[in-house]
Amino acid sequence: MSTPTRSPTVTVGRPPRWDARRRAEPETNDATPEPASAPPAPTVDKVNLAQKLALFSEPWSPKIVGELNGQHVKLVKLQGPFVWHHHEAEDELFLVLHGHLRMELRDRTVDVKPGELIIIPRGVEHRPVAEEEVHVLLFEPASTLNTGNVREERTAEHLQRL
């Protein structure tokens, strides 16, 4: 004795999913709003590492030269011993471009030469040491602080973009 709802009638009245008339519909609808809402095309350009490295000389002061997927690509010059530290939440990649980096870990030391990279997993204590000037490309989440869990005079909070 209940009054039938309208919805079954509407459903039955629609063409089935495989019907060509249904397929044609979304195509026209999809195409219309896209040009208006599409973001402007990003600027794509290469980064010359030697040119960027020539722009600064101070050691332990990372510069941002690229950004992708929430990660920063940074260049840094190292001179002397850094501070022992670790990063709670970030893995760090060091790619040596110039000089020899001595990466001290608590149980051993790894020599990293130009063209080599080392990844320090989160939580692992490390101390980069550069007996002579070393140039490094860093790749790490944007949240990464250079001194990790330690605060000292070389802690770099606001990084310059080159």
Q: Which residues would be at the binding site for Ni ion (CB under 5 A)?
A: 92
Closer Cβ to Ni ion, 45 or 157, answer by number? 157
Smallest gap, in angstroms, from Cβ of residue 27 to Ni ion?
51
Smallest gap, in angstroms, from Cβ of residue 87 to Ni ion?
6
111's enclosing H/E stretch is strand 109-112
Q: C-alpha angle with apex 85: 139 to 58, nearest 5 degrees? A: 60
Going by the DSSP 8-state scheme, the letter that residue 76 receives in this structure is: E
Residues 135, 156: Cα–Cα separation, whole Å: 17
Give the tokens for residue 14.
């629609």
Smallest gap, in angstroms, from Cβ of residue 145 to Ni ion?
8
Closer Cβ to Ni ion, 48 or 152, answer by number? 152
Closer Cβ to Ni ion, 99 or 144, answer by number? 144
Closest CA relative to residue 147, chosen from 158, 157, 155, 136: 155
Closer Cβ to Ni ion, 75 or 92, answer by number? 92
Smallest gap, in angstroms, from Cβ of residue 50 to Ni ion?
24
Give the tokens for residue 156.
């770099």
